[in-house]
Amino acid sequence: MLPDVVDLLRCPHCQARLAPDTGRGGLRCAAGRHTFDIARQGYAGLLAGDAKTGTADTPAMVAARDAFLGAGHYHPIADAVAAHAADTTAPGAVVDVGAGTGHSLARALDAAPSRVGLALDISKYALRRAAKAHPRAGAAACDAWRPLPVRDGAAALVLNVFAPRNPAELRRVLDPRGTLVVVTPAPRHLAELRDALGLLNVDTDKKARLDAALDPYFTPLDAAHVAFPMALGHTDAATVVAMGPSAWHTDPDAVRATLAALPAPVHVRAEVTVSRYAPR
């Protein structure tokens, strides 16, 4: 793991800074009481011992996400996020909370060549890919609902793309001059697939609920509506279902059977909101 990435981290138990543990090849807190492994795939294991990982993305979900994002279908979303990385002038790193495979983080780092990045996720399967997503990125396992293993004010930019968020922790790790960028689905995101397959609906008040949840810690700056059409083959259409929350509520074989009865390609519209916030 890059020294500049290790410098961003703090112990999830005592909040002391972390440093390489030269004796065993992992990380050790400055207090000397806690040690952590670095997996052979390159990510640091910073989950508390009693962490519950039942909601973590499964190997199948991660593989689907890697395939779909790798095919470029969501490039307009990643480009909108990366534009904010290029604009940020605050000191610090790019920290992606709920980073998944590191796709958005890698695009953001391409747009911010002087910064390092940190991918945080609870899924070890996602972190195995995120740790290798970019030469200037590192990855660590953590629970987004608990204190993040990141130093106070270490981030110039915090990303939260289709991921859970703990507003107090997002604010704590962000430099006072930094920016939070949140990507959420708009009400009609993938509506054609949701209607055909009976998938979960998107909350029509999602943006208002997001602003209200963040309000004690962040001030809204602006929000961009990013919408674009996609022509998906049956395989890609099944993959976008398999990579998201609907994967927990659908039978893959039933999804494929329903899609097979639809004309190919399946014409779907992606619609998301990219919201930007300043810390209070």
Is the pLDDT at 51 greater than 90? The verdict is no
- Residues forming a β-bridge with 138: 118
DSSP 150: B
Q: How confident is the model at residue 190 (pLDDT cuts 50, 70, 90)?
A: very high
54-62 average pLDDT score: 90
Write out pLDDT tens, residues 73-128: 999 999 999 999 999 999 999 999 999 999 999 999 999 999 999 999 999 999 99
**Distances from the Cα of 216 to the Cαs of 148, 163, 167, 168, in angstroms?**
18, 19, 8, 8
DSSP 57: P
SS3 218: strand
Q: Total domain count for the chain? A: 1
Is the pLDDT at 147 greater than 70? The verdict is yes
Q: Where residue 34 sits, what CATH number does that domain have?
A: 3.40.50.150
pLDDT score, position 50: 67
134-149 average pLDDT score: 96
Tokens of 198: 């009976």
pLDDT score, position 201: 86
Q: How far apart are CA 29 and CA 18, in angstroms?
A: 4
Q: How far apart are CA 163 and CA 170, in angstroms?
A: 12
Tokens of 174: 């962000």
Report yes or no on whether pTM surpasses 0.75: yes
pLDDT score, position 52: 67
| φ, ψ (nearest 5 deg) of residue 203 | -60, 125
Identify the domain containing residue 98 by its residue range: 3-279
For residues 144, 147, 153, 158, the Cα torsion angle rounded to the nearest 10 degrees is 0
